[in-house]
Chains A and B, each alone.
Chain A
């Protein structure tokens, strides 16, 4: 399976050189090698059939009639050592803690802006800065309850933060479903290696909602979805089912006297905490976009009064702005007095005069991203683009420099992936999920997204990427983190 396996100047997640595993993964590698080739193919087909049968699908926008697709899935898990994980966990907790303090600051005293650590206009001019949230005190001081941070690994094996997703990050349902599929396919392998579990995620999320919920005797929680045509609808329904809470749409909710109720067949019943999977813009037409058909009029006012808890809090988007990202190491230092455990990818802000010149002169070597887009949209991969595409992008950047950032192309790490009847290296990233309730916790694992085209660096599912399960080995040396 590993004959002709190539590693060309990138970090490989399993092997140190062709056919030779990293020493820490020797048992995993041996166990893999013991599985006959045709078993992989059979197991892979079975897993795909299970996904189709159970309707674990997402909708690709712009496709005909919102076609449902299964997320392409690779059976071979990506594996992470306990030590690597401990460091990641520490870095993520530090980062979320600092970003949460940052949000609380900029919506109150704005000390960090007054101290000129972060340029005031960068924050205040961002469309994701919500004036409506100024002075807001979310329950327990928590703004970002759920984060899905995107990490990549450079050729030296160092994990770098690529993006903080602080709004409504999706994908966690695939983490749990992938784990189920892989466990079923390789039961013995899983048992033998002492892999840390991830299936308690819905319970953890439930505890977060419980922690921020107003103190009432009979609590009712819900997951708020834009509806069945949303690309992540499966996940919304999945989380509601696993937590045993209501799955609600905007039309199911009514606000009366700043209290929120759900419409039931027996009349109106109160609801107290909502994990909302609707963007700020569409949350409440009375406060944000008035044309929103999926929101709940009056929800924001009820929230401000403390009658309903929302996760995540409105307004968090300003802290995962792609331009602000460049300042996160400074933000960590400012609030925590520590250096960032996890480094950023070097980032040029086109809004800065000197960076703009550099970016325009080096478009063929850089990845340019629109600061207000996600999911791989509005992006230029300079080294792969044609001259015409680069020229077109240069015009866009010049018209709106604040709207773009650029980063050097990072040669993402690769992981062995089933291609036909053998394994080939395919580029991967990692999205672990961080929950902030009574304390900040990271689910040990996460979504490994894989670019299925050879050599491709774009892993987004909307751009044809697939996913893998992520196995974190229990660290028996460095203390218990379970």
Chain B
């Protein structure tokens, strides 16, 4: 398929997955906000930390407040990773590959776009951000369901799945990183009811609380880390995402060295290893390796090769001319 088109499918999924993750993170914090009126600022600031875009936030907003952070993450037109901008970009990519994706998928992403646009043009009046985030989450699930049930398992499908899973693995590792860092340091809380609520909220943010309970019952920081990184069956764990990214990559281009080693490292390691040199350092390492995979995908499939590079591919051209 066309390189540009493959790139658009990949990015469509990355943006959509990003939008859904932000909505899910916000949603979990709304829950917690309701349960725990006392400790709010910390809560919203940590959410900002997950995005890694605190600097951008500070440039446009004088005050760190719940309201400002919600606006920044949901509707901010200037912030490239706000839900609004992610949905606009996902839909723009979808528009450029309409002839590749199914009509059902196109209509769903277009409806999501129209809903987000309307919500934004009312500046959030009309329904609360909680309802808004729920609607975004639902629509993204619907889109992913259509993706799995209406599209041929061809090249485009695999590019789409890689985009979705790499984004998901990145977000799971980020939220774990940030929350772990914030939640752990205060020894006074460890094991307290408040502490449990916080860890439960983290699991809810990745829609994993119920599935976690099935495997571990009690909440402990160590088990949460184990679950989110190494639990193969959990569809948002880092290992699960990278396994299927690797599978798609294999279909598209055969074994990819750094992706294969990343996956097998995760399969053989356990949470003790991860914590050994510090969880933050471990997650940082994972994120760097995932970024490398993303950049390899770009170089290998999407990069607009210059004319001069045609020479390099002459073997390939020759095949088609003969």
Binding site for B on A (CB under 8 A): 52-55, 227-228, 233, 237, 240-241, 246-249, 251-252, 254, 256, 259, 261-270, 297
Contact = CB atoms under 8 A, between A and B. Distances in A.
Contact of A54 (B1, B6, B107, B155): B107
Contacts, number: 75
Contacts of A297: 307
- Most-contacted residue by chain B among A252, A254, A265 (CB, 10 A): A265
Interface of B: 1-6, 92, 95-96, 98-99, 103, 106-107, 110-111, 114, 155, 159, 252, 301-302, 304-305, 307, 310, 313, 316-317, 320-321
Nearest to B301: A265
A263 B98 contact: no
Nearest to B106: A55
Contact of A228 (B95, B99, B310, B317): B95
A265 B3 contact: yes
- State the 7 A-B residue pairs at the shortest beta-carbon distance, nearest first: A241-B99, A267-B316, A265-B301, A55-B110, A228-B96, A263-B3, A256-B310
A52 B114 CA distance: 9
Contacts of A251: 4, 304
12 contacts: A53-B114, A54-B107, A55-B95, A237-B95, A237-B98, A251-B304, A263-B3, A265-B3, A265-B6, A265-B155, A266-B316, A270-B320
A267 B313 contact: yes
Nearest to A228: B96
Contacts of B110: 53-55
Contact of A261 (B6, B107, B317): B317
A265 B310 contact: no
Nearest to A263: B3
A237 B100 CA distance: 10
Nearest to A55: B110
Contacts of B98: 55, 237, 241
A268 B111 contact: no
A264 B99 CA distance: 16
Given A54-B107, A263-B2, A268-B310, 17 more contacts: A54-B106, A54-B110, A55-B95, A55-B107, A237-B98, A247-B99, A256-B307, A256-B310, A256-B317, A261-B310, A263-B3, A264-B1, A265-B2, A265-B159, A266-B316, A269-B320, A270-B321
B2 A237 contact: no
Contacts of B155: 265
A33 B106 CA distance: 37
Contacts of A228: 92, 95-96
Contacts of A227: 96
A297 B92 CA distance: 27
Contacts of B107: 53-55
Contacts of B316: 266-268
B2 A248 contact: yes
B125 to A, nearest CB: 22
B110 to A, nearest CB: 5
A241 B106 CA distance: 13
Contact of B95 (A233, A246, A263): A233
A275 B4 CA distance: 19
B3 A264 contact: yes
Given A52-B114, A55-B106, A267-B313, A252 B4 contact: yes
A53 B252 CA distance: 33
B45 to A, nearest CB: 33
A262 B304 CA distance: 11
Contacts of B99: 237, 240-241, 247
A237 B106 CA distance: 13
A174 to B, nearest CB: 16
Contacts of B321: 259, 270
A245 to B, nearest CB: 9
Contacts of A262: 2
B322 to A, nearest CB: 12
A251 B155 CA distance: 20
A52 B110 CA distance: 9
Contacts of A237: 95-96, 98-99
Contacts of B307: 254, 256, 297
Nearest to B4: A252
A269 B310 CA distance: 11
Contacts of B320: 268-270
Contacts of B252: 265
Contacts of B159: 265
Contacts of A52: 114
A269 B111 CA distance: 35
A246 B2 contact: yes
Contacts of A268: 310, 313, 316-317, 320
A248 B5 CA distance: 9
A249 B4 contact: yes
A54 B103 CA distance: 8
A287 B96 CA distance: 28
A259 B95 CA distance: 29
- Most-contacted residue by chain B among A55, A237, A259 (CB, 10 A): A55
Nearest to A223: B99
A262 B302 CA distance: 13
Contacts of A241: 98-99
A136 B317 CA distance: 28
Nearest to A297: B307
A285 B313 CA distance: 24
Nearest to B313: A267
- Most-contacted residue by chain A among B98, B103, B114 (CB, 10 A): B98
Nearest to B305: A263
Contacts of A259: 321
A265 B4 CA distance: 9
A251 B305 CA distance: 10
A479 to B, nearest CB: 38
A302 to B, nearest CB: 13
Contacts of A53: 107, 110-111, 114
A220 to B, nearest CB: 10
Contacts of A261: 310, 317
Contacts of A246: 2
Nearest to A218: B320
A224 to B, nearest CB: 12
A263 B95 CA distance: 20
A254 B96 CA distance: 20
A252 B313 contact: no
Contacts of A233: 95
A252 to B, nearest CB: 5
- Most-contacted residue by chain B among A251, A252, A266 (CB, 10 A): A266
Nearest to B108: A53
Given A55-B106, A268-B310, A252 B96 contact: no
